[in-house]
A and B are shown apart, each in its own frame.
Chain A
Amino acid sequence: MTRHLATFVIDGARYGVDVLLVQEALRSQVRTPVPLAAAGIAGLVNLRGEVVLSIDLRVRLGLDPLPVDTEPMMVVVQVAGEAVSLLVDEVGDVIDVEESQFETPPDSLSQELRHVILGAYKLPTGLLLVLDVERATAQTP
């Protein structure tokens, strides 16, 4: 069975999410910061008249948060009927992967990351990590 994954790059690693969840990918927009919001919430953007929350996945992935002035790309995904924009370094292709290439994360992965990274596809060009978008964008990990 093949799956279609939309891919993007964060801090050198390639991640994929189910392409059906992705609404669009676009350049960075002006973000309005939200005071007192949880770590990882990068602000609100105006997406053609809708107010959309943008989330810095780096925090959820245990990396340092993005500096405020960088202009990352945005991947807009649908989570629980709501559009959420994910900040990523680079947007990649939509690729087809075989179920046979999939492997669950190694036991050495921390419990926190195990929650958001479902596993990896072993592609010839390197590993493609699969994200659980719902958990990755949830308020508490």
Chain B
Amino acid sequence: MDVVRTKIEAIGGTVDIDSVVGRGTTWRLRIPLTLAIMPAVTVVCGGQVYAIPQVSLLELVALDSQAGAAIEHVGSAAVYRLREDLLPLVDLRTVFGSSARTAQERTVIAVLQADTVRFGLLVDQVLNTEEIVVKPLSARLKSIGLFAGATLMGDGRVSLILDVQGLARRSMAVEMGERDRSSHGGEAAVLTETVQVLVAGIGGGRRLAIPLSAVTRLEQFPADVVERVGAREVMQYRGGITPVVHLDEMLGGQASGQEGLTVVVCTRAGRSVALVVGEVIDIVDDDAAHHSDLGDASLTGSTVLKDRVTELLDIRGVVAEADPLFYADDPAQELAEMVGA
């Protein structure tokens, strides 16, 4: 048990024991929801299961066997007409040098985004989406450049995680180079800024986007950790008192009424603010060009992410309201100024 405790505490979790003589024992292992757990899609190619990180996946297109004609060719390069745009195709079997695909076989196109390029990866079958734990890969395999790591499947087998950037570099070197050149022309003007955002549900089907750069940790706590200082809600976190902000209530949503609290922790220079959300849904790329300025109090606007209207949280404003000294470079000095004023 000492080993279990040491290991769990090493990753920031806790072990609780409740024991009643003659009744039994309850063990509670709390393991933090860290970002090393990655949402991924598992696909099959040549009888083996591979994982594709969800962040790189735009959509899946199933080709039924009669539609083999849907794959066309520009010279030797296979392409697919995806809503009137030509999507370059990369066959994972060809990349891995396994037997060629026959026209009758079931094929799925996974539309992937790697840096600046979009391409379709041909795989045999898509299994499902899973949260996977990323395991490091032996140094001897890194040089292949196609695998980002490995993971363990539910049945105990090892599956490789595909490195989408590496795949694109290997299969589409020419194309990436050309895209770079053309971007120096007219496209430079429409260069857009994308940032990764954490999408969280705040009850009533509403979704909220929080910039991932502001997020330090995701944690789960029981509801009774919340205590009070005056009118404020606080909790004890990592040996300090951290203000708690219920985002669902603050933004006029319904209180989730769940037993546990899903908390997004923002930490800067030793000061933390805990933002309570209903559930953590996903991490996606957010393109600033698609933002709408339609917003509300504590929001900077809204946008559409994964076909859902998502509210953009004014993280700076919300955090500063909970802890006015959060963004101060020298909290002690600013506090003195505030008191003096």
Contact = CB atoms under 8 A, between A and B. Distances in A.
Contacts of B98: 35
A1 interface: no
Contacts of B96: 35-36
Interface of A: 30, 32-38, 41, 43-46, 49-53, 82, 84, 137, 139
B157 A46 contact: yes
Give the bracket for the number of chain B residues in contact with chain A.
20 to 34
Interface string B67-93: 000000000000000000000000000
A49 B152 contact: yes
Interface of B: 46, 48, 95-98, 135-141, 143-144, 146-147, 150, 152, 156-160
B140 A41 contact: yes
11 contacts: A32-B48, A32-B160, A34-B141, A35-B96, A35-B98, A36-B97, A46-B152, A49-B152, A51-B152, A53-B140, A139-B143
Contact of A51 (B46, B95, B135, B143): B135
B144 A32 contact: no
Contacts of A30: 156-157
A35 B160 CA distance: 10
A35 B97 contact: yes
A46 B159 CA distance: 10
A44 B160 contact: yes
Contacts of B139: 82
A141 B150 CA distance: 25
Given A51-B137, A82-B138, A44 B144 contact: no
B150 A44 contact: yes
A36 B146 contact: yes
Contact of B147 (A33, A34, A41, A137): A34
A51 B97 contact: no
B150 A51 contact: yes
Given A33-B48, A82-B139, A137-B140, 14 more contacts: A32-B158, A32-B159, A35-B46, A35-B95, A35-B98, A36-B95, A36-B97, A36-B144, A36-B146, A37-B144, A50-B135, A52-B138, A53-B140, A84-B138
Contacts of B136: 51
B227 to A, nearest CB: 37
Given A44-B160, A51-B152, A34 B135 contact: no
Nearest to B96: A35
Given A82-B138, A139-B140, A34 B152 contact: no
Given A36-B96, A36-B146, A44-B150, A51 B158 contact: yes
